[in-house]
Amino acid sequence: MNKNVKFGLIIVAILGTLGWLAAGGINQTASYYKEIAELERLQPNEKIDKRLRVGGDVELNSITREGRDVHFVLVQEKDGVKRRLKVIYNGTDPLPDTFKDNAPCQALVDGKLGSDNVFRASKLQAKCASKYEAKPVAPVTRG
């Protein structure tokens, strides 16, 4: 066989395998970013199948623990309407340290929406007003 053909075949085989693996990996783990408003418009079959990723503000003082589950409410304001979404986090990873009740927090949850319209999250990323972005709030003045 011509050596160029051989090289070509091997390269195609390698890249093909990797491409196939990658495509499979994407199908397996793809999760779709949605806004809370968009969740209401989802088709019933989409609700069950798709892994979703929803972001929003964590409602102040809404975080409660029940056993290993953590319950809280996500809020998203759009066009002047505040939409709320109940979330139950039941993932295995510990909650991020930044996730707390007394500070304005944004959370990104990953999971599926149940037929009861409660979001069951297996992953949670919290983005709380970190110091890097926090505006200095009325620094203490001293003479």
Q: Residue 96 interacts with other proteins (CB under 8 A)?
A: yes
Taken as a whole, the chain contains a residue count of 143
Cα angle 17, 22, 26; round to 5: 150
- Residue keyed to tokens 């066009």: 79
Interface with other proteins in residues 4-63 (CB under 8 A): 6-7, 10-11, 14-15, 17-18, 21-22, 24-26, 28-33, 53
- By the 10 Å C-beta count (0-12 exposed, 13-18 middle, 19+ buried), 45 is classed as exposed
Interaction site with other proteins (CB under 8 A)? 3, 6-7, 10-11, 14-15, 17-18, 21-22, 24-26, 28-33, 53, 65-68, 92-98, 100, 102-103, 108, 110, 123, 125, 127, 130-134, 136, 139-143
